Structure 1
Amino acid sequence: MTTVQENDQIDTGITGPAIQDCGYGREFGAFYDRIFRKDAYADLTARQLAAWHPQDGSPALEFGVGTGRIAIPLAREAGLEVVGVDSSPEMLAGLRESLVAERGEGRGEVAVTGVHGDIRSYTDSRRYGLVYCVCATLSMLLDPAQQQSAISRAAERLAPGGTLVVETASRRWILDLHEGRNRTSFFVPYPAPNSGLLTYSTRLPQEHLWQASHIWFEDGVSRVGSELSRMTSVEEVDAYAAEAGLVPVSRQADWLGTEFTAESPMFITRYTRPEEAGDVERTEH
């Protein structure tokens, strides 16, 4: 199955106000795949996530599926069914195009279902062996209560013994990048000729908020997109997970398995939901 659906079409059980979208897809949809490439590193990410799945036949759930950079290789290479939630219609349109491209390249169908939903309130009737929220999606939620809600919703969907994986930017690294200033800028060259990303970064007066305006350059053409996110610490994510009843398993700095240090730009933390007798009884009904 390769579909993108509204969340009430797959028995999510959600009722209430319309899905809130921060506009990320409108800002970056036209060049998102140029910045976050579907390359060997994305495939490596998918392989590591597959290794953390219990391989018990259960599906995987992604919070912030985007255009399928991780969900598609995870489903294709690991043979998993992946449900991907995103609040952005533009990103889900990109996912649909990616799935069509998979078929066009002769790779056949992959079991990825995109769902228009809000990760702060998402629920459905299923249990997942793996739930993951990567590429700093958690930091797009702008206060601790919202971040806690997302982690709690993810934990609720985990099967007993299942794994939650969170990857986001380290607050410490962002602060160090600014070197005590409120504003800074930096340029990241990309492998393709005449391409790169110029970022103007601003620490806002509100506690731990960070605005980044990006200019993407490629062959003499530039595109602009801005995002607002929350500088999130390792300790905060650990606290969210503990509040949701999860236990930490491991932490690393990247998908190569590099050890995490205070200077690492990103952190990837893996948690598990302990198996309990009560959980077994509930899943049997």
Structure 2
Amino acid sequence: MNPSATPATGTVAVAVAVAVEDIGYGRQFEGWYDRLFPRDESAAVTAARLAELHPEPASGTVEFGVGTGRIALPLARRLAAPVTGLDSSPEMLAALRAAGEAEAGVEAPEAVGAVGAVGAVDAVLADIRTYTSERTAGLVYCVCATLSMLLTPEDQRQAVARAAELLAPGGRFVVETHNKPAVLAAHEGRSRTSYFIPYPEPGTGLQTHSTLLPENDLWHCAHVWFESDGSSRVGTELSRLTTPDEVDAYARAAGLVPEGRSADWLGTPYGEQAPMFVSTYVKPVAAPVAADPAGTGGAGAPA
């Protein structure tokens, strides 16, 4: 990592890693991402479960695809320890910075990267496929379907491998992403469908036009967000659908051991009808080297 900013004081530090490929997600959803994914009870439940899954908060925490900090900020509070948040979108990290400063009751400065952190979120502009750090972590997590934003099996496999490399022995990797069988079932054999989700605030909701591109397991969604004042916003996203078994295979190839799988953060048993799935993996602790009582060094030892 090559930081472009020196941390000062505050709640969010922003650094930059080299060679970051931004897919433009943040530019499309800037200013209304938190309307789609509010900082509500579901975010609190996610943060609480991640805190329970953490082997040791002092050992470090990394989020792949931190976005606006919807999960990282409450998790850092629960852990009373920093969370390192990676994202390829400057717009998302700017929103994260503003949210962290709003929580701390300080005014956000104009320059991204001018704010440091004493304990909340260390935000890094980075590619989750290539990010490296000299520090290991006890927990690495990739939620809200961030893994599906990588559009090839190799890119997804590379991100999981990077998570495994960042983990300390005994550390845990947690993934939440779209459940391919459920998405296919929702289309009922059609390549295109649409649906509307009303939100709790009266007069608001999300209309989604969904298209399957089965040759590459890709899923294209065009979203129209409706505000109660009659205004609307439009954004699109392209993702690659995976099954839980496919993510398990990525993890095994990276040396991780599948630990558990559920349909949500409440621990509901997984089923193919679940729209998302949550899987956990553990990095094995290296087995101790057996002692050589005779002091010979074992077979093949140099004379």
Q: TM-score, normalised by structure 1?
A: 0.91
Q: Does 1:265 align with 2:275?
A: yes
Mapping 1:66-85, distance limit 5 Å: 66-85=67-86
Among 284, 289, 301, the alignment partner of 1:274 is: 284
Report whether the alignment pairs 1:156 with 2:165: yes
Match of 1:11 in 2: none
Matched, 1:204 2:213: yes
Residue 185 of structure 2 corresponds to residue 176 of structure 1: yes
Contact 1:44/1:255, CA 8 A, preserved across alignment: yes
- Note closer, same or farther for the CA distance 1:215–1:278 as it changes in structure 2 (3 Å cut): farther
Offset from partner CA, 1:9-59 (integer Å, 9 cap, x none): xxxxxx6xx311111001112210011111111011101101111125111
Q: Using a 3 Å threshold, how does the CA distance of structure 1 residues 68 and 182 change in structure 2: closer, same or farther?
A: same
- Indicate the SS of the match to 2:202: coil
In structure 1, what is the equivalent of residue 301 of structure 2? Answer: none
Secondary structure of 1:241 counterpart: helix
Q: Deviations over 1:151-189 (max 9, x none)?
A: 000000001100000000011111111111111000011
Task: Tell me the CA shift for residue 205 of structure 1.
Answer: 5.3
Amino acid at match of 1:97: A
**Distance in 2 separating the partners of 1:177 and 1:30:** 29
**Structure 1 residues 59 and 167 mapped into 2: Cα distance closer, same or farther (>3 Å)?**
same
Contact 1:4/1:116 (8 A) holds in 2: no
Q: How many residue pairs were aligned?
A: 269
Q: Distance in 1 between matches of 2:80 and 2:287?
A: 29
Separation in structure 2 between the aligned mates of residue 233 and residue 278 of structure 1, nearest angstrom: 35
Equivalent position SS for 2:45? helix
Identity %: 55
Unaligned runs of 5+ in 2: 1-9, 107-116, 290-303
Cα distance change on mapping 1:214 and 1:156 into 2, 3 Å: same
Q: 1:102 to 1:110 in 2, by over 3 A?
A: farther
- Give the counterpart letter for 2:50 in structure 1: L
Partner-residue secondary structure (3-state), 2:130:
coil
Q: Where in structure 2 are the equivalents of 1:1-285 lying within 5 Å?
A: 2-8=11-17, 18-55=19-56, 57-104=58-105, 110-204=119-213, 206-219=215-228, 220-277=230-287
Deviations 1:82-138 (A, max 9, x none): 000000011001101111111129xx9642110000001111111100000000000
Check whether the contact 2:12–2:101 (CA below 8 A) recurs between aligned residues: no
Aligned 8 A contact 2:196 2:205 in 1: yes
- C-alpha separation in 2, matches of 1:3 and 1:73: 13
CA–CA separation in structure 2 for the residues paired with 1:79 and 1:86: 22
What is the rounded CA distance, in whole Å, between the counterparts of 2:232 and 2:57 in structure 1? 46
Q: Is the 8 A contact 1:102 1:109 kept in 2?
A: no
Using the alignment, how far apart are the partners of 1:245 and 1:134 within structure 2? 20
Query: Post-superposition shift, 1:204?
Result: 2.1
Structure 1 residues 204-213 or 150-159, which shifts more? 204-213
Contact 1:140 1:228 in 2 (8 A): yes
Matched letter for residue 145 of structure 1:
E
C-alpha distance in 2 between matches for 1:228 and 1:260: 25
Partners of 1:50 and 1:172 in 2: CA distance: 29
Which residue identity does 1:165 align to in structure 2?
A: V
Measure how far apart 1:270 and its partner are: 0.4
Structure 1 residue matching 2:252: 3-state secondary structure? helix
CA distance in 2, matches of 1:196, 1:110: 35
What is the distance in 1 between the residues matched to 2:284 and 2:47? 24
Shifted more, 181-190 versus 73-82: the winner is 73-82
* TM-score, with structure 2 as normaliser: 0.85
Q: CA deviation at 1:78?
A: 1.9
